[in-house]
Amino acid sequence: MTNPAGCEVISFQEINFSDPIFDSIKIDYPDHEEWRTRNSASGSERCALIVKSLSGAYAGIAILKYGEDPFGPSRYGLKISTFKVAPEAEYRGTADLLLSQVFSKAIDHEVDVVFIAVLPGHEDVVRYLELRGFRRSAKGTGHHELLYTAELCHPERIYAELNRLAYDLLADEYQERSTSPGPTQESPDFLAHLLTSRLAEPVRRVLELGPGSGEILSALGKVAQDSVGVEISPRMAEVACRRAPNALMIVADIQRLDFPANSFDGIYAGAFLHLFPRIDAGNLVHRIARWTRPGGVVFANTSVSSEPGESLEVKMDYLHRVARYRSRWTEQQFRELLEENGLVITDRVTTDERERAKFWVAFLCTPARGGVSRNE
């Protein structure tokens, strides 16, 4: 079968081991043929995710084994037995597509740890894995391989890397969806106006956190002398820059970025704070309040939920089924998140986006100078 993300899921027995993608693997692992024969006959708990080129050859493959963690058999473990992208394939796009689907499968199977063994000398693979949340384990293997693990049972340790991966993959879909919005979706000009209409003129500088397709950032830039966007996903930043070419785009994890106090007249955080665990979201709100000048305004919204919680989950409302971190709050919990961390709510705006079954609550806020004291 083929899933919407473009990866085909096949059994171990269906893998075409004569494909050229395995040539270098057979050199690195002389016992590869014996391993293949053994697992084909045993009916092992293995499957494969494959991406094909236009010619039908494998552009990338990830072979998965359920029921194993770095220390042995475990129903909460998932081993990436093989992770390989063909040299002629676009490395980032194909590798990210495979890895995102690995994490999606892990979430579906309630896996706590995903791990992979890498032979010494493959520094490009190591660097790729580390940028996407894997960390080196002290344990090695009989082949003198290095073990790299991603602990899904501690999502707070890897959520930034997973979110970067998710939105890299969703960038093209965000761009396409922005050209054909749903009937109950608010327009970017309307959303930007909710913020800018409350700012005293002249508006010097505004900040958007997670600008996505860039339409709201563009609308903000029509009012402000300077507009700034912070985006964790390089590919999403490229999309936003095409829509808002005059904005300053900073590609960074906002958790590792800071601005001087009173830097912005207005800050727009649309569908953004729920991408963080509550503790990190609260710390971020506190910093947002500090970055906003006296008399400035902050826009923050989320789709509220009757069943609050926070976890890694698969994003289902796009064609790509990507794993990302998501906090879900009731309206009262979201209100408390803002009010307990340095913001005073002045207005409330709601949107019932029926086609996606999302009820959005937006709060317009001002910084509570002297109202909250916290250690920086």
The whole-number pLDDT of residue 7 equals 86
- Give dist(CA 149, CA 135) in Å, integer: 5
- Contact in structure between 174 and 239 (CB atoms under 8 Å): yes
8 secondary structure, DSSP code: E
More confident residue, 177 or 208: 208
pLDDT category of residue 92 using cuts at 50, 70 and 90:
low
pLDDT category of residue 240 using cuts at 50, 70 and 90:
very high
Query: What sign has the CA pseudo-torsion 104, 181, 252, 374?
Result: negative
If we measure between CA atoms, which residue out of 153, 149, 170, 49 comes closest to residue 102?
Answer: 49
Say if pTM beats, i.e. exceeds, 0.75: yes
Work out the percent of the chain whose per-residue pLDDT is above 70: 94
pLDDT one-digit tens code per residue, 5-17: 478 999 999 999 9
Residue 265 tokens, joined: 């007249």
- Give dist(CA 301, CA 19) in Å, integer: 49
Query: What sign has the CA pseudo-torsion 113, 114, 116, 122?
Result: negative
More confident residue, 84 or 373: 84
Q: Across the chain, what does the average pLDDT equal?
A: 91
306 secondary structure, DSSP code: S
- Give dist(CA 344, CA 39) in Å, integer: 61
Lowest mean pLDDT among 51-60, 175-184, 290-299, 367-376: 367-376
Indicate the pairing of strand 226-231 with strand 205-209. Answer: parallel
The whole-number pLDDT of residue 38 equals 86
The whole-number pLDDT of residue 337 equals 98
Residue 2 has pLDDT above 80, yes or no: no
User: What strands lie across the sheet with 135-140, from one edge to the other?
Assistant: 8-11, 46-52, 58-69, 72-85, 113-118, 146-151, 135-140
Residue 350 has pLDDT above 50, yes or no: yes
Chain Cα centroid distance, residue 150: 15
Residue matched to tokens 């092992």: 44
- Bridge partners of 65, per DSSP, are 46, 79
Lowest mean pLDDT among 34-48, 60-74, 234-248: 34-48
Q: Can you list the domains of the chain with their CATH numbers?
A: 8-153 (3.40.630.30), 181-367 (3.40.50.150)
pLDDT category of residue 371 using cuts at 50, 70 and 90:
very low
pLDDT category of residue 181 using cuts at 50, 70 and 90:
confident
The whole-number pLDDT of residue 140 equals 67
Residue 45 tokens, joined: 């708990």
pLDDT one-digit tens code per residue, 244-288: 999 999 999 999 999 999 999 999 999 999 999 999 999 999 999
Residue 144 has pLDDT above 90, yes or no: no
- Give dist(CA 99, CA 105) in Å, integer: 10
Residue 189 has pLDDT above 90, yes or no: yes
In this structure, what are the phi and psi dihedrals at residue 186, rounded to the nearest 5 degrees? -70, 145
